[in-house]
Structure 1
Amino acid sequence: MKQVFREKLEENNLALTFSKITPVSIDYGVLEKEKDVLVVKAGEFNWSDVGSWDVWAEFYKKDLSNNVSQGKVVAINCQDSAFFSQGRVIGAVGLKDIIVVETEDAVLVCSREQAQRVKEIVEHLKKEGKEKLL
């Protein structure tokens, strides 16, 4: 990581610099390798690891059926689901515990129960050289 940050971080190369960093959790990447670690009590605050779409949905207002919708969404008879659209309309009927994410170049559909497994799709796309979809 030191090598990556030797470059001057400017707005135009920030994405490139960030893409060079290997994604590692803080407990593995820092805490398990350090011998002298200090802990500072920070007081009371809420914490969520926003590493999945399921957790993302916790931060938005839910409708009467416990759905979260962002963007162009028509959800009929859906329950406990999350819909995120960046452009196209998402039409959903009769879904329960589902996450749908629509972006310019990809669509993700998964059960809320399996949301943590989206990283497997990310790894698959990387192996196929399709990083531009991420």
Structure 2
Amino acid sequence: MCWHPLIIRWCLYIRHRSGGAYESMRNTGCIHLPSQRTLRDYTYYVKASNGFSSDVDRMLMKAANIESCPTRDKHVLLLLDEMHIKEDLVFDKHSGELIGFVDLGDINTHLLQYEGRLKADSPPKSQLAKSMLVIMVRGLFTKL
């Protein structure tokens, strides 16, 4: 079935607020809604990874129409926020990795391993992540 983008957005919003409520609405049969799998496919449009994503950068540049917009529309605000996340491991079926461990980047990881070797003969145990840093770009004079 082909879904209208507005319906997909609405369903993603409802599912985000309460997965149980979304499933209840789906199972009533009063309204035909996309499956959880379909919504997941729309949610993971860009493959999430640690660090900055060149795919997201390209999407932002295209949405901002940076080549043809006036100078004042190029002013943006960067918002940094720490999000607390559920402490859990997730299996990535594309790469075969377990995701959820603290990852501070290559240099910080090497420094932590070095510090662990100085304190003891065994490398430090991997810790599960409890929070993450989120960066949001917002246009000051545009809808970006």
TM-score, with normalisation over the residues of structure 2? Answer: 0.25
Structure with the higher helix share, 1 or 2: 2
Q: Which has the higher contact order (CA 8 A, sep 6+)?
A: 2
Please give the TM-score of this superposition, normalised by the length of structure 1: 0.26
